[in-house]
Structure 1
Amino acid sequence: MGSSVVDGGDHSRLRQLNERAVLGSVRAAGELRVAEIVEQSGLGRTAVEEVLASLVTRQWLVEVSPAIRGRGRPARSYRFRAEAGYVVGLDIGAFSVRGVLTDLDGRMLANVRRSVTPETPRKQRLATADRVIADCAREAGVPVARVWAVGAGTTGLVDATGTVVRANAIPDWAGTNLAGHFKTQLVVADNDSQLAALAEQRRGTPNSSSPADMVFLHAGRRTGLALVLDGQLRRGAFGAAADMSALKGVAWEAALEYLHDVVPAEIPAVDKAERAFAAAREGDRAARAAVRKYARAMAVAAATAIAIVDPRLLVLGGAFSQAADVLLEPLAAELDRLCPRVPELRASSLGPLCVALGAASLAQDAIDTRLLSPSRGPLPQLSARSL
């Protein structure tokens, strides 16, 4: 004879599932009315009301004051408390460490950059990253303790544990365990070009006009490629998808010299490419020729990816996307010569922030995975360190 008594553990498990269903619905939408939460969560109204009251008490959700229109009681709405915690996205490169701080909805509140060099020792580079996190928190006016997660993007190949496996641009960077360095509860890391593509997918263009397949050309002091296929960032089996840095036919590093050679020698190396693009913009023939040579080198690797993936869109991103007015046309001409079909070309609007913003998105994804996983038990009272 079966028992009709529901075990206490079953009640607890059911409540956790209901909490995650309601929290997930509100989190995804930003703000929902009770009727919409009922519809999206698949729960009964009574269960939804109970969970909402509990999540408001524990400060995960807040009831939004409704606008009063006409007669009757206005519909109640709830939103996720995106200001409860923050994430920092880092771009740790050979020449700089850049950070952005965002709330849990991705709204950027701070942007900080510190200079380094390829020869900066590993310990000092990591210390610079720590200072960037502190600077971001200070600029945003929030305690560092409320930074729930750090996402780190860096040049080179990064494995699933957050360890840099290979980094040609920084002599002592291989072997650095980024996930183990930062003193927050949650740290995630990935290759910089991969994260720049993630940022472009999430922030670069309206979703309605963004094709599901995209090749991202990450152009700056370092160059890379990344792929978005079927709407998902494709890292590959070992995180090296579209990494062509070791191919001899891809002369990315040498191509930068084309731009440097048309700029006076006394100009600092960090500013030379920008000066070359500016000169090309003003009609300087030598600079325009240098930009065409640079575009030709970029096109070889981009055309290889296009031939394999056949995407609808190629995005020029990274710091050099700010020179799209002089770079896109020669790039398109070279691709037309190399490809049987050239995809739509578009310049990213994210500029040099793309990697840090992608790292912040990666950190937000990691937070959501923890928040919405019933296996982590009941949601606690929200505090600065609730994860």
Structure 2
Amino acid sequence: MTAGTDLGGLRRINELAVLGAIRGGAETLTEVVRRTGLARASVGEVTRDLVASGWISEVAPVVRGRGRPAVRYMYPAAAGVLVGVDVGAFNLRVVAGDLNGRVLGWERRATTPELPAGRRIELIAVAIAECLRAVGQGAPWGIVAGSTGRVDDRKVVLSAAIPDWTGIELRDQLRERFPGSVVGIGNDSRLAALAEQRLGPGRPESLVLLQAGRRTGLGLVLNSRPHTGFGGTAGDLSRFPALKWEAAIEYLAMSGVAPSGGPTADPVADTLNAAIEGSPEALAAVRRYIRMLANTAGAVVSILDPEVLVLGGSLAAYGELLLPLLASELELLVLRMPRLEASGLGADSAALGALCAAVELVDAALLGDGSGPLPAHRRPTVST
């Protein structure tokens, strides 16, 4: 390594440290010095260069008492917009956020598994455009779409929930419709797990997300990062029919406790509500459902020993009913109980996880991987 390259790498490290501190809430030079541990002179030089390149901006100082007020800095999160998408069999969710991932607005659409792939793609594009229009934003800097099924970094490899979705080149389809945007795709359960780790309480280093809804799924987080495994299939238990958890929802949907024309017209919700109200038949159906989920969750928890097990998906809203039953079953199966939580993000978790991933994707595109100084802060046109 040459001396020039070494100094360039050190400069990049310092720039990223300062930028990270300011994005994390440090506003003044003194606060940045305290958070980074860098010399004040170095921080002063780096902040001047970051202001010049547009990565941070100076804010009018707040006058407090006597003396010269300290200059404050902020990351221009409003300079661009990011989009997170959750493509499900029955629902499409789109969320727009600023460059820090702060939510600006939502667009939600009902779909069906039978919707042809071409029309589904067009619906996604229209929903993104409508969401951006509603929040007063133009073309997005970055888009990350989560989809049900097995997904690699380019396409949907296999989808059981949506018949003609297998093989769809989702990343390229979105790139074609939103040229100039950085685009990524991922599995919905993994993105939901990312959202739980980033936005949930405590930011645990290890987490298992148990997606409970019309379909079941697992999302794994290890060392504060989504765990995908060597070939990208970690957490995919679709080829283990003996676990019987994919069909577990039928215990609620086909319980016979709630008629098809029940209060909500949804037999699953009606069965759960009946259980809350004390129906012995409904409670028995819920226990059978939870027992099937616990068999799978217990195996995963025993292997990974996570800090937290999160009940996610649309049924997270029934956490007060379901979590005690899940805890009773898991205590019979695992040596150490993780902390059990019901997701506060619910059915929106995958879209929010996609927005979190979009923040990281655009950061990586803008910051690059070179050893020189940061480029001018601008809308990315790179392909990722």
Q: Quick check: TM above 0.5?
A: yes
Is structure 2 residue 237 aligned with structure 1 residue 241?
A: no
SS of residue paired to 2:243: coil
Q: 1:310 aligns with which of 290, 305, 313?
A: 305
Distance 1:378 1:185 in 2: 23
Q: Percent same amino acid at aligned positions?
A: 44
Distance 1:168 1:251 in 2: 16
Paired residues for 1:196-235 under 5 Å:
196-207=192-203, 210=204, 212-235=205-228
User: Per-residue displacement from partner, 1:92-141 (whole Å, max 9, x unpaired)?
Assistant: 01111111111111211112111111111111111111122112112222
Is structure 2 residue 288 aligned with structure 1 residue 293?
A: yes
Alpha-carbon deviation of 1:37? 3.4
Is structure 2 residue 205 aligned with structure 1 residue 186?
A: no
Structure 1: runs of 5+ lacking an equivalent: 1-5
Aligned partners of 1:31 and 1:80 also within 8 Å? no
Please name the residue that 1:3 is paired with.
none
Alpha-carbon deviation of 1:263? 2.7
SS of residue paired to 1:337: coil
Is structure 2 residue 267 aligned with structure 1 residue 272?
A: yes
Please name the residue that 2:81 is paired with.
86
Please name the residue that 1:163 is paired with.
155
Alignment TM-score, normalising by the size of structure 1: 0.87
Aligned partners of 2:154 and 2:170 also within 8 Å? yes
User: Per-residue displacement from partner, 1:292-341 (whole Å, max 9, x unpaired)?
Assistant: 11111111110110121122321111111001111112212221233333
User: Per-residue displacement from partner, 1:219-256 (whole Å, max 9, x unpaired)?
Assistant: 11111112222333211112211211220112233221
Matched to 1:248, the amino acid is: P
Is structure 2 residue 29 aligned with structure 1 residue 23?
A: no
Matched to 1:334, the amino acid is: E
Please name the residue that 1:370 is paired with.
365
SS of residue paired to 2:115: coil
Aligned partners of 2:8 and 2:371 also within 8 Å? no
Distance 1:352 1:382 in 2: 34
Aligned partners of 1:91 and 1:192 also within 8 Å? yes
Aligned partners of 2:366 and 2:375 also within 8 Å? no
Distance 2:45 2:338 in 1: 51
User: Per-residue displacement from partner, 1:141-177 (whole Å, max 9, x unpaired)?
Assistant: 212x1x1111111111111x33111111111111112
Matched to 1:362, the amino acid is: A
Paired residues for 1:106-145 under 5 Å:
106-143=101-138, 145=139
SS of residue paired to 1:375: coil
User: Per-residue displacement from partner, 1:274-298 (whole Å, max 9, x unpaired)?
Assistant: 2222222222222212111111111
Alpha-carbon deviation of 1:188? 1.2
SS of residue paired to 1:170: coil
User: Per-residue displacement from partner, 1:29-50 (whole Å, max 9, x unpaired)?
Assistant: 2333223435656765555444
Aligned partners of 1:20 and 1:371 also within 8 Å? no
Matched to 1:224, the amino acid is: G
SS of residue paired to 2:58: strand
Aligned partners of 2:211 and 2:313 also within 8 Å? yes
Structure 2: runs of 5+ lacking an equivalent: none
Aligned partners of 2:316 and 2:346 also within 8 Å? yes
Distance 2:375 2:381 in 1: 7
Alpha-carbon deviation of 1:213? 2.2
Change (3 A) 1:384 1:341: closer
Aligned residues: 374
Alpha-carbon deviation of 1:190? 1.1
Aligned partners of 1:17 and 1:374 also within 8 Å? no
Change (3 A) 1:200 1:172: same
Distance 1:177 1:165 in 2: 9
Paired residues for 1:13-52 under 5 Å:
19-27=15-23, 29-38=24-33, 45-46=40-41, 48-52=43-47
Please name the residue that 1:348 is paired with.
343
Aligned partners of 2:362 and 2:380 also within 8 Å? no
Is structure 2 residue 360 aligned with structure 1 residue 330?
A: no
Aligned partners of 2:260 and 2:266 also within 8 Å? no
SS of residue paired to 1:119: coil
Distance 1:376 1:134 in 2: 36
Alpha-carbon deviation of 1:342? 2.6
